[in-house]
Structure 1
Amino acid sequence: MTDSSAVIDHLDHTGTVRLATRTEDGREIVTKIWAVVVDGQAYIRNGYGDSSKWYARLRRAGRAAFVDGDTRYDVTVQLADDEATNAAIDDAYSAKYAGSGSSLRMMITGDVRTTTLRVTPV
């Protein structure tokens, strides 16, 4: 079982986190992504839409791990699709990744909000 506060702290204070997902044949692939925390709850988004491989693997499995050196934080995910939450997540991305230019704009505009996932430690 993962320490919930440790996961939230890691995702809140680490700029680029490492997300480990599994392929259908069981191989693990680690992808660097951004994460934010809003009101004590962690969220991730996929700036490239539903076609991204890490996102497809994560949606298929519903679980993954964040990797920090030798430490692994196991999590599950579910869609977060309410407007108020997404607006707060936009603000959190804007604050945490200010100065990231077009990469930040990609994370808070258009259809990317439909890819917002709530991250829950297990």
Structure 2
Amino acid sequence: MTAIDYFANTDTVHIATTRQNGGEVVTPIWSVVVDGVPYVRSGYGPDSKWYRRVQRAGRAAFVDGSERYPVTVENLDDEETNAKVDDAYKTKYAAQASSLKDIVSSQARAHTMQVTPQ
């Protein structure tokens, strides 16, 4: 499976971020792919520890069993793309409507990151 396939076809992806002491933490989050590019959001904005760690480092890895997908992340500040990311989340996670509202909220939209597999 390629990294793009992982982001597109896996309901809950697992992001591995590094603590300041060097320890690794793996956190389950949601992801989408828009026009062949993966995106993730922090549904809780800057309050999420994984989000703060990835912002500090600018990189992370996604873990799928024994597979690791190293990535860099870049904050997204593009309304047109953010609208497409909203639509992708609504489509992919439609069955989880009670949690979906958090990931398409204005707070979450402000914490959208483009993921670039390395």
Q: Same fold judged by TM-score > 0.5?
A: yes
1:2-41 alignment to 2 at 5 Å? Answer: 6-41=2-37
Higher mean alpha-carbon deviation, 101-110 vs 53-62, is at: 101-110
2:107 paired with 1:111: yes
1:16-95 alignment to 2 at 5 Å? Answer: 16-95=12-91
- Structure 1 unaligned regions, length at least 5: none
- Structure 2 unaligned regions, length at least 5: none
Identical residues among aligned pairs (%): 54
- The 4+ residue runs of structure 1 with deviation greater than 4 A are none
| Distance in 1 (alpha carbons) for counterparts of 2:11 and 2:95 | 12
C-alpha displacement of 1:99: 1.8
TM-score (norm 2): 0.97
The DSSP-based 3-state class of the residue aligned with 2:87 is helix
Give CA-to-partner distance per residue, 1:19-74, whole Å, 9 cap, x none: 00000010000000000000000000000011110000000000000000000000
How many matched pairs? 118
TM-score (norm 1): 0.94
| Distance in 1 (alpha carbons) for counterparts of 2:9 and 2:57 | 26
